[in-house]
Amino acid sequence: MSLAGKTAVVTGSTSGIGLAVARALAADGAKLMINGLVSRQEGDALASELAQEFGVQTRFSPADMSDPDQIQAMVEEAIRELGGVDVLVNNAGIQHTAATEDFPRAKWDAIIGINLSSAFHAIQAALPHMQKQGWGRIINTGSVHALVASVNKAAYVAAKHGIVGLTKVVALENADRGITCNAICPGWVLTPLIEQQIKDLGARENLSIDEAKVELVRHKQPSKTFVQPEQIGALASFLASDAASAMTGTALPVDGGWTAQ
């Protein structure tokens, strides 16, 4: 229970990778602030389930990651109600695919806001607390698209490459203050975020949903299997541990070989 008594704030943790990371940190004993775009009722119910399963204090924040004021309020709530923000996981994200010349401006702004700027705002809100106590772990969910590009993902690739830059700057500024900042860069993980891409591929190539899933993964990921959300959770748990105190400013692929090509 390496995180007993500590508090983790995990953005976008009502589903997919964020939920798996929240579960892994709670299993390590961390109190949890979960967050996501679900109703207050659903969020509170999920927070109660996690509290029961792991025996830790939990809260749900409906803060919208496109709003800096709501992000700051969420971090302040964690400090006030859960005793701190020791581990911050910037994970909320959305996707939209289109050729650059057709990319809707509103989608560009939303993706940069939610996938990149929200991490800056949350880090800015949490850092003074971490600096005061001389201990902190910041984990940003990047992507293989933080390291390499794919067509039709201008905003997503730009935001995720930006996450790696932000990760390095925050790591350098805090390298001798007991605070680490790293990015985890997953390949394909089967979550609601990629459902639309599976449907689009199926329609384009006349494939069933199951066939489209296989085709999607086979195309980019040499392992030919999806990365499991729990595997991202396990890496987050390691990065939050004292064993990882010398790792900072890194971008770690968990991608079945995608970026080795």
Q: Which residues are catalytic?
A: 156
Q: Is 147 in the site for ligand NAD (CB under 6 A)?
A: no
Out of 7, 58, 141, 182, name the contact with ligand NAD by CB under 6 A.
141
Query: Shortest Cβ distance from residue 177 to ligand NAD (Å)?
Result: 26
> Bridge partners of 60?
34
Q: Is 43 in the site for ligand NAD (CB under 6 A)?
A: no
Query: If you ran DSSP here, which 8-state letter would residue 14 be given?
Result: S
Q: Is 58 in the site for ligand NAD (CB under 6 A)?
A: no
Q: Is 221 in the site for ligand NAD (CB under 6 A)?
A: no
**Contacts to ligand NAD from residues 101-120, by CB under 6 A:** 114-115
- Contact predicate 163/140, CB 8 Å: yes
* Interacting span for ligand NAD (CB under 6 A) from 35-43, 77-85, 125-133, 202-210: 35-43
What is the token pair recorded at 67?
């709003």
CA distance linking residue 195 with residue 189, whole number of Å = 10
Out of 3, 10, 16, 240, name the contact with ligand NAD by CB under 6 A.
16
Angle of helix 118-133 relative to helix 154-173, nearest 10 degrees? 10
Rg (CA), the chain: 18
Q: Is 233 in the site for ligand NAD (CB under 6 A)?
A: no
Out of 44, 64, 77, 211, name the contact with ligand NAD by CB under 6 A.
64
CA angle, residues 7, 11, 45, in degrees to nearest 5: 80
CA distance linking residue 202 with residue 208, whole number of Å = 6
CB atoms inside a 10 Å sphere around CB 223: 14
The owner of tokens 């509103």 is: 106
Q: Is 143 in the site for ligand NAD (CB under 6 A)?
A: yes
Residues that bind ligand NAD (rule: CB under 6 A) add up to a total of: 28
Q: Is 15 in the site for ligand NAD (CB under 6 A)?
A: yes
Angle of helix 209-220 relative to helix 195-205, nearest 10 degrees? 100
Query: Shortest Cβ distance from residue 132 to ligand NAD (Å)?
Result: 27
- Contact predicate 50/14, CB 8 Å: no
Enclosing H/E stretch for 165: helix 154-173
* Interacting span for ligand NAD (CB under 6 A) from 51-59, 184-192, 198-206, 215-223: 184-192
Sheet of 87-90, strands arranged across = 58-61, 31-35, 7-10, 87-90, 136-141, 179-186, 251-254
Out of 101, 192, 242, 246, name the contact with ligand NAD by CB under 6 A.
192
Out of 50, 179, 183, 189, name the contact with ligand NAD by CB under 6 A.
189
Q: Is 258 in the site for ligand NAD (CB under 6 A)?
A: no
Out of 10, 17, 170, 236, name the contact with ligand NAD by CB under 6 A.
17
Which positions touch ligand NAD (CB under 6 A)?
12-18, 35-37, 64-66, 91-94, 114-115, 141, 143, 186, 188-189, 191-194
